[in-house]
Structure 1
Amino acid sequence: MISISSNLNIMIKAAEKASKSLIRDFGEVEKLQVKKKGPRDFVTKTDINVEKIIIDQLSKTKKNYSFLTEESGSIINKDNENIWIIDPIDGTTNFLHGIPHFAICIALESRSEIVSGLIFDPIKDEMFFAEKNKGAYLNNSRLKVSNKNSIEDCLFSSNHEGVKFSNLNMRYSGCAALDLAYVASGRLDGFFHNNINLWDVAAGKIIVEEAGGVVNDINKFKKNNINIRASSLSINDEMIKNLKNF
C-alpha cells in the first residue's frame, strides 16, 4: 500500500473530479471537429472550468494556500509560502484537435521548493505522482527512469524548436507534462525545452527526480521563461553536450 500525504491525497481527488468535465468536453470537441466548427472558444471555457474545479477543491481543505495558475495567474492568499501550481490542460492544442494526449497538472511548492506533483492523463487513466523523498508512481506502480547507457539507443522529446535543432532521436508530442512523466517512467530517455512556463514542468520535475532522474535547476529562471533539461543520470552528460547550442 502506497503511503501518501494529505496534501497529495487532495491533489489526486481534485484532479479526478476535474477530469470528469474534461473528458465530457473532449467528447464535445471531437464532435465540433467533425462539424468543422471552431472549437477554440469552447476549449478556453473548458480550461477555465477545469481550473475553477481544481481551485475550489484544493481551497476546501487548504483555505490559506496561494495559487499560481495558467488561466488566473497568481492568487496570493494568507499563506504565500505554500503555493499550488496548476495547469488545467497541458496539451491544449492536442485537446483542441481531438487528439487524446493531454494532462491535468498540479504541483505544491513549499518555501520555494516543489514538494509534490501529479500529472493525470484522464483519457488513458494514468496518474503519475511523486512526493519529495517518497518515490514516484504511476497509479500503484513505482516508477524508474530508463537505464540505457548509449545515446544512440535513446528517445528524446522536445518542442518544435528542439526537434528542429537536435540530431538526437526525437519526438514532439505537444504535451510537455506527459513528456516529463514518460521520462520518469522510462518510456522516454530525456526531455528538453526552452522558454517554457513553470506550471508546465513543476509537477514533472519532482516526478522525474523521484524516479531517479536528473533535472537542471529551474529556480534560476523566470517562471514564464524556463529552460528545462531532464533525463536519466546515465545519459544526462551526453544529452547536455548535444544541447550546448540550444
Structure 2
Amino acid sequence: MTGSRSFEELVAEAEAVSVEGWDFSWLAGRATEERPSWGYQRAMGERLARASAALDIQTGGGEVLAGVAELPPLTVATESWPPNIAKATALLHPRGAVVVADADEPPLPFGDAAFDLVTSRHPVTVWWSEIARVLRPGGTYFSQQVGPASVFELVEYFLGPQPADVRRARHPDDARRAAEEAGLEVVDLRAESLRTEFYDIGAVVYFLRKVVWMVPGFTVAAHRERLRELDELIRSEGPFVAHTTRFLIEARKGGA
C-alpha cells in the first residue's frame, strides 16, 4: 500500500494521527491480522446475555463491550487511561453501563461476590485473586489475552534478540496456574498463532505508537534509521510478516 508516497510522508502521517482508544480502523488496507477462531466478542456477548451483573476490566475505549448486542442489567467497566475513560463513557453510558476510573492495581473497587461474570480483552495485568474475590460463587471469568512473544518479529527487529524469559512471558500455562492458585477452575484454555502483515512503514509507526509496550519508549526520532531500513525492505520484498499470539481462558469460581 506504500505506492508512490515517500518514507517521510508515510511516517509524518502516522506520527500525527491520534492513537486514543483501542480502535485499529486506521490500519485498514495498511496492515492485516488473522483473528482467533473462537470469536471472542461473539462468545463474550453470549455470556453477557445470560449474566445479571458483569464487570469488564481494562475496557480500553469500550469498543468491544459496546459492540455486544445485549448487556446485563448491571454492567460496569474499568479503565485507567483518562482519554480512554472519556471515550468508553461516551460509548457505554447510552447502553446503561457505568465506567469506573481504576488504576489497574489491586484491590478492584468493588465488594466481594459482586459479579457473576468478569470479562477482559487483552488485559495488561491480571490480578487473579481480585477476580476471584469479586466473582460470585459459580461465576465466570472470560478473557482473551496476548500470548508469549506476540509480534516479536517486529519487536526484535528494533530491540534485537530477547532473552528466553522475556519471550516466554504471558504464557497460557502460567495463566492457568495463577487462576488455580486463586481458587478458580479453568474450564477452557486455547492458544493460537496468527499471521500479521504490515504493508507500509506508516502502519508500523502507528502500531508501535499505539501498542506502547512492544518497543518501550518508541519514537520516530530515536528509531528513524531502523525505520528507514524497514521501509526499504517492505518496498523491495513486500509486507513485513509477524505472528500475533492469543489465548482464550475461561475460569469458574466454585461454590454455586
Question: Structure 2 length normalisation: TM-score?
Answer: 0.25
Q: Whose RCO is larger (CA < 8 A, sep 6+)?
A: 2
Quick check: which has more Rg, 1 or 2? 2
